[in-house]
Amino acid sequence: MRVPLKTTVLVTGLGYSFGDVVTDPTIPLQNIKADLLTSSIGISHAFNFFGLSSQALVVFPYAWAKVSGDIEEVSASVSRSGLADMRLRYSVLVFGGEAATLEELRNAKRNTIIGTSINIIAPTGQFFEDKLINLGTNRWSFRPELAISHPIGKRWLADFYSGVWFFTANNSFFPGDVVRTQKPMGAFQAHLSYNINPLFWVALDGTFYAGGKSSLNNIVNDDRAENTRLGITAVVPTGKFSSLKFAFSTGVIVRLGQDFTTLTLGWQKSWVSGLNK
């Protein structure tokens, strides 16, 4: 998505996820259910990168979680609240996305755009070495990504994203002296959106994850992901430079990992240089 030069956006959000966590049947923790409430605040800024449209984003989340399950046939539950891992993203539109002002974008024709980005998850979240359930991951995660956006007619838009997550090691995994590593995991997304007007649109979303098998002290787990999610997103304008975002998604095929249903509500406010006076 092309954003006018020198645009700063404040992003806030509230998300609620609930459901099961599908685990390797060989581990002692089974029948896991979780409820997770996450609030977030972030800021992005668009700028000129050698003539190309570029954007940097940082998001700070805070989470409340309740997790229950059976440990060797004994039921238990735990609650957590605190900071979750910070997220950062830097993107550049490398084809069809020349840096432009708002007026230039209003007069521009719809065209195919190709972009690239790097997504980073920093280990800023709450983490206890002696606890199995944590809000933070105690590791860095990186996802380089390539995206293509192609208009269909005057109102439809198809977006495709392809990336790979890479993970550093967690050297203090439960019970504190275990090294947890994880192989790369592919992440693929597709979105088909209908633009009611430039600020009001609805989209169908699909996501597929594959890979990410983990190891504990070099002992490989049978936890390779092959998960598919579907959802819907709607963005409704609340002013000339603000909007509400509603989203719903749920797991369709989950081999291992989070089989969550997620509801999110977000609000964003934009400041375009010279126009918010």
Q: In the structure, what pLDDT confidence band is assigned to residue 173 with cuts at 50, 70 and 90? A: very high
Q: In the structure, what pLDDT confidence band is assigned to residue 132 with cuts at 50, 70 and 90? A: confident
pLDDT of residue 225: 84
Structure-token pair, residue 21: 């966590």
Tell me the mean pLDDT in the region 255-277. Answer: 81
Tell me the mean pLDDT in the region 25-34. Answer: 68
Report pTM: 0.91
pLDDT of residue 22: 59
Q: In the structure, what pLDDT confidence band is assigned to residue 226 with cuts at 50, 70 and 90? A: confident
pLDDT of residue 7: 95
Tell me the mean pLDDT in the region 206-219. Answer: 93
Asked which of 38-42, 161-165, 216-220, 225-229 is least confident by mean pLDDT, the reply is 225-229
Fold exhibited by the domain 7-272: Porin (2.40.160)
Extents of the domains making up the chain: 7-272
Q: Which residues of 213-241 are buried (b: 16+ CB within 10 A; e: fewer)?
A: bbeeeeeebebbbebebebebebeeeeeb
